[in-house]
Structure 1
Amino acid sequence: MSHYPHLLAPLDLGHVVLPNRVLMGSMHTNLEETKDWNRVAAFYAARARGGVALMVTGGMAPNREGGVFPGAAGLFTPADIANHRVVTDRVHDEGGRIAMQILHAGRYAYGPDCVAPSAIKSPISPFPPKELDEAGIEKQIADIATAAARAREAGYDGVEVMGSEGYFLNEFLVTRTNRRTDRWGGSLENRMRLPLDVVRRVRQAVGQDFILIYRISLLDLVPEGQTWDEVVTLAKAVEEAGASILNTGIGWHEARVPTIATSVPRRAFAWVTKKLMGEVAIPVITSNRINTPDVAEAVLAEGCADMVSMARPFLADPDFVRKAAEGRAEEIAPCIACNQACLDHTFAGKISTCLVNPRACFETELVLEPTAAPKCIAVVGAGPAGLAAALALDRRGHTVTLFERGARLGGQLNLARQVPGKEEFHGLVAWFETMVAKCGIALRLSTEATPDMLSDFDAVVVATGVRPRDPQIPGQGAANVLSYIDVLTGAPVGARAVIVGAGGIGFDVAEFLTQTGQSPTLHLHDWLAEWGVTDPETARGGLVEPKPEAPARAVTLLQRKPEKPGRNLGRTTGWIHRAALQAKGVEMIGGVNYEAVEPGGLRVSSGPGREDPRLIPADTIVLCAGQESDRTLAERLAARGCVVHVIGGADVAAELDAKRAIDQGTRLAATL
């Protein structure tokens, strides 16, 4: 009997039966822009081999003005069609199915030729759009339909028409971005005209035996968003116009509410999709923060949707579905929704990958083949770098012994998972523990490795991590001065806290210290209230005034750099951390000098001239002033002439960078 009877049940679409209820949602990885079609094909083929029922590509532009950025991939020429055929053939060879997403970015297009229903600039793009006239609108509809026809010619099994997230079609639907007074604006009937014409024309272009997914915005999360009645009316009309499936979209990119970051509760918006169930006869897909088979199964069993969309979980583990079906769910590498290697890379114009799985999108480059010369290798340090190296070395056939001075695996991950909103790190540590236990690695916990213990190994990988940097503040030896390690491992903190250092660790500690009770990430009702999200039947767009809980204590966050604190946090998540702390009343001050710890608090001054000396009152002062590499063991081994490889924080002490650590450990293992 299946562990996941709803998740693994087939879904009949009429002309085709999908083998399970799992959609790999669209992710723009920038792979298509590399023009390396074997690499693109390898990425999708791996996910098809892993058992997903249907995949959706990253957004393909229907024309130049609709591309997310200049040069965005699309199907513009016969050569493009032939290149995409390389991908679809590989997917079909693996028994999979794949649909192409047609994404017209509208005013979100990052280029001067962007177009929109009205000439209203997006707050997240520097380019004001051109308002389309009748001929321009007809061109966009025709180009989208042509893209769909070309997708069929290229061998795709379907298309997804992107109608949510604040992109082009969504922009026509809301008065916030559609101020037109002609037949394309004003009444709901007029505002719906464009998306419905697109669906009809696409269906005409591809025929009946072709999957047509419409990505519908159920919750805009912006002022002047759609009412729930408007959403339901649109859904029914899209079904009538010829859609095969409705896929859920949540929130515009300019929304002040996070929708997919790790601090968002799991399945946070499945309740919205459930409201649409029964309103249409075609299958409805739910999405956002569904990252385990158990969560997906519960969503389906509760009738929230007919199918689940998971995107980033297939970066973390292409074999997600196969492992679930084989009863090996604990072996699924977890998506922790960190955004660090996927969305942050995408928006920086880099190839997307995954913190947990650096082989994602690098399948043809980062290859872990069996070694022809097995060695006995010691890995010292069971943080993310050491764990990644040890597992990859074992996979390749080396004999690995893993030494860890602490009593458990995880290293600095064990600190990260104490932070409210980072509960997903619990699953990552558990996965590492599972995989180490299942493979041939010899584990030596609570063991301080010495050069004598390591002398007989063919090579030693040193992943001894970091130690806190000493900021050398006069008086910092006082009893009320703690390190971030002290705080995150349970040391008591007073009612007024001052944090020295406003990097990623400083922000994490500030969130830890301001949290009252349990994390809202674990309690959906509290999280929705904190960010101002409500039932779209009661408020247009599902948006109301946020009601965050009062902070547990007063916190001041300081940094030496004379810039806005948090400026260098993650590209797609930094704003969330800043907004969360501002809502909790955290004072953030840059450009300060730390003069001395005094009985009443921390004395600081401003700027290079050390002006405006003042005392910031504090009961507790927390040092988060960065880290230094712990290279002691590596230096002692090198002095003995041992073969030593230094990775992770021991190599570069740059914040708590698990992304770099895991990537470096995996890549080293591929070369030994």
Structure 2
Amino acid sequence: MAQYPHLLAPLNLGFTVLKNRVLMGSMHTGLEETKDWHRVAEFYAERARGNVALIVTGGMAPSKEGGVFPGAAGLFTKQDIADHQIVTGRVHQAGGKIAMQILHAGRYAYSPECVSASPVKSPISPFPPKELDEEGIEKQIQDFVIATERARDAGYDGVEIMGSEGYFLNQFLVTHTNKREDRWGGSYENRMRLPVEVVRRCREAVGPEFIIIYRLSMIDLIPNGSTHDEVVQLAKAVEQAGATIINTGIGWHEARIPTIATSVPRRAFTWVTKKLMGQVGIPVITSNRINMPEVAEAVLAEGCANMVSMARPLLADPEFVTKAIAGQAKRIAPCIGCNQACLDHTFGGKLTSCLVNPRACHETEIAITPADTPKSIAVVGAGPAGLATALAAAQRGHKVTLFDRAENIGGQLNIAKQIPGKEEFWGLVDWYETMVAASSISLKLGTNVIADDLINFDEVVIATGVIPRDPGIPGQERPEVLSYLDVLRDKKSVGKKVAVIGAGGIGFDVSEFLAHPNSSLTEDLSQWMVEWGVGDPATTPGGLAEKGPQPHPPARDVILLQRKAQALGKGLGKTTGWIHRAALKMKNVQMMGGVNYEKIDDNGLHISFGEAHENPQAIAVDNVVICAGQTANRSLAKTLAERGFIAHVIGGADLAAELDAKRAIDQGTRLAIKL
């Protein structure tokens, strides 16, 4: 308590008390759609046991047309209510409180039945919405009310009414999507009528002793968005209508400014919430890129909010609050904001999980329990796969020896953390160091393991990672030709004009590293806002800077090339790929696809295009950096197999297609529970 007095202080709501200032923000995990209610309950209960004050579920549809996709979960039947009682009962048994988010997608619904204020099609859905008439609007209000009543009947402590991120209620608020001229459009008083009416009617339905959170978009980050004065006006009206708490929403899903990716500075938008503080008498929650207790404590101590919302950090570590209470912040598995297993999965129709914690949403499937027969286990390679295996195996009671030829742990994570915008990877490596030091693992660094070192172990795990693939380009042995390891690991000097060969994740990372100056914008909020064009909604509607993005000049001229004749970056993450492409475009990085690499000589990199090797040309550059993929480093596993000793091969040593820490950590953890 002494270390984080603001974060761990209780919050009195009048009719109930929250035990601290941590809200688990809503995330659509896909768990409810599995219909495995024991699994859903255990996911939330584990966070409740971790001392989260109030949990908010993923969005539940108030109606079929309001679901984010056909078949989206909601409380439509008596059976649905009974199923959700399993969840709320388990959370309450664990000492927690839980609210159900009511999410009406409006024009964001991936369905031909979608509805909105006006028939303005969303850029992220192929279906134009139907414009609601008076009767249709009344139906939607009733649907919110019924969903609130059913949430109460299902045992929820409250609801969160989703009014931000560009969803249904948000669509009525701004002229960007509301073109109406009746009492639901035109003046702001009319445009805010619907969300205020929804809150008022929901409060009337459930009485005073039920939590109603209103998620309010405090900065839309789209053209013709809300002004700060309108945000304050709505907040006051929502309070008057009966809201218990106001939560912060940041940006619409179609906004072209990143809001929660790892390249966004920590607590990047808490200043927006702070502008509302003192304007309303109910608690205000802030959100986005708050991922460690010291960050949350500072936000609250500075008066930016009364409470903090953390969603993905509680995927990464369900014991976040418990560890903060115990003064063990260094043991909190950090959310690195990568989106790879959470948002990328959600938008890809997969079940959510977490790169750092593959048990997230798989709590009933991946149980780390004591081993029946402890074994001696050798793990070769202290990258993500080896670390995950070693830690989980040691936790189960096995005697684990972890080897690596390097002088430090982390493997390819130590490469990733060099990239501007990926500073969170430093914290992940630090966390692994803390956890290994606190475990029973025998760590042997600077050790070049041979087969004879391993044959006396009960089990051997090969996690030796990858080696750069040889693209076989004539002239690649020249001194001006470097590998990505030369640049990122060995810090070799690079000239002012560079060709980067290979446009996978590593090629994009290297291009970002080379194009950016020494300082990272992720660690300088004011400069990051200038670069991306974030302004103040008090000055410009929606919070877009009047001059737009103002990119800082690139450190080098970079040309990024790939063999495939397709758009560069096509294989990047669903929710972050556009950010990487936009960031490189702002640095004037030239991108070329369908390229043949003919040779490298005194005149530079010689290329041609297509199968016919057309349009041959030489690109004069100071350096060529090769990022042409990787091959699995399986030599040790092969030697063991030749001697009749079959080892477990995981991570990059198993599959080298792109460096995939998500798969490596998941694979290592799952192996450990079987050993």
Structure 1 stretches lacking a partner, 5+ long: none
Q: Distance in 1 between matches of 2:112 and 2:493?
A: 54
Q: Distance in 2 between matches of 1:197 and 1:517?
A: 51
Matches within 5 A, 1:280-359: 280-359=280-359
Task: Give the TM-score of the pair, scaled to structure 2.
Answer: 0.99
Instruction: Name the residue aligned to 1:507.
Output: 508
Q: Distance in 1 between matches of 2:594 and 2:553?
A: 28
Instruction: Name the residue aligned to 2:655.
Output: 652
Contact 1:600 1:619 in 2 (8 A): no
Instruction: Name the residue aligned to 1:627.
Output: 630
Instruction: Name the residue aligned to 1:663.
Output: 666
Q: Distance in 1 between matches of 2:455 and 2:253?
A: 55
Matched letter for residue 510 of structure 2 = V
Residue 192 of structure 2: SS of its match in structure 1?
A: helix
Residue 33 of structure 1: SS of its match in structure 2?
A: helix
Aligned length: 672
Q: Distance in 1 between matches of 2:360 and 2:517?
A: 37
CA shift, 1:616, in A, is 1.4
Q: Distance in 2 between matches of 1:541 and 1:617?
A: 44
Q: Distance in 2 between matches of 1:43 and 1:433?
A: 27
Contact 1:336 1:425 in 2 (8 A): yes
Q: Distance in 2 between matches of 1:102 and 1:209?
A: 18
Instruction: Name the residue aligned to 1:555.
Output: 558
Identity of aligned residues (%): 69
1:498 is the counterpart of 2:499: yes
Residue 141 of structure 1: SS of its match in structure 2?
A: helix
Instruction: Name the residue aligned to 1:522.
Output: 523
Q: Distance in 1 between matches of 2:237 and 2:421?
A: 39
Task: Give the TM-score of the pair, scaled to structure 1.
Answer: 1.00
Instruction: Name the residue aligned to 1:7.
Output: 7
Instruction: Name the residue aligned to 1:416.
Output: 416
| Stretches of 4+ aligned residues off by more than 6 angstroms | none
Q: Distance in 2 between matches of 1:204 and 1:389?
A: 53
Matches within 5 A, 1:267-666: 267-489=267-489, 490-544=491-545, 545-666=548-669
CA shift, 1:600, in A, is 2.5
Instruction: Name the residue aligned to 1:155.
Output: 155
Residue 406 of structure 1: SS of its match in structure 2?
A: coil
Matched letter for residue 586 of structure 2 = A
Residue 671 of structure 1: SS of its match in structure 2?
A: coil
Matched letter for residue 583 of structure 1 = M
Q: Distance in 1 between matches of 2:639 and 2:511?
A: 37
Q: Distance in 2 between matches of 1:431 and 1:179?
A: 51
Residue 604 of structure 1: SS of its match in structure 2?
A: strand
CA shift, 1:598, in A, is 1.7
1:205-237 CA-partner distances (Å, limit 9, x unpaired): 111000000000000000000111111100100
Range moving further from structure 2, 201-210 or 144-153: 201-210
Q: Distance in 1 between matches of 2:248 and 2:104?
A: 17
Q: Distance in 2 between matches of 1:257 and 1:412?
A: 28
1:453-499 CA-partner distances (Å, limit 9, x unpaired): 11211110000000000000000011000000001121111110000
1:121 is the counterpart of 2:121: yes
CA shift, 1:666, in A, is 0.3
Instruction: Name the residue aligned to 1:204.
Output: 204
CA shift, 1:517, in A, is 2.8
Matched letter for residue 568 of structure 2 = P
Matches within 5 A, 1:228-267: 228-267=228-267
Residue 271 of structure 1: SS of its match in structure 2?
A: helix
Q: Distance in 2 between matches of 1:565 and 1:617?
A: 21
Q: Distance in 1 between matches of 2:185 and 2:30?
A: 34
1:350-404 CA-partner distances (Å, limit 9, x unpaired): 1100000000000011111110111000000000000000000001110000000
Q: Distance in 1 between matches of 2:620 and 2:129?
A: 49
Q: Distance in 2 between matches of 1:95 and 1:517?
A: 48
1:101-132 CA-partner distances (Å, limit 9, x unpaired): 00000000001100000000000100000000
CA shift, 1:548, in A, is 1.0
Q: Distance in 1 between matches of 2:208 and 2:19?
A: 20
CA shift, 1:16, in A, is 0.3
Instruction: Name the residue aligned to 2:72.
Output: 72
Matches within 5 A, 1:22-101: 22-101=22-101
Residue 203 of structure 2: SS of its match in structure 1?
A: helix
Q: Distance in 2 between matches of 1:205 and 1:412?
A: 55
Residue 479 of structure 1: SS of its match in structure 2?
A: coil
Q: Distance in 1 between matches of 2:538 and 2:119?
A: 29
Matches within 5 A, 1:138-153: 138-153=138-153
Structure 2 stretches lacking a partner, 5+ long: none
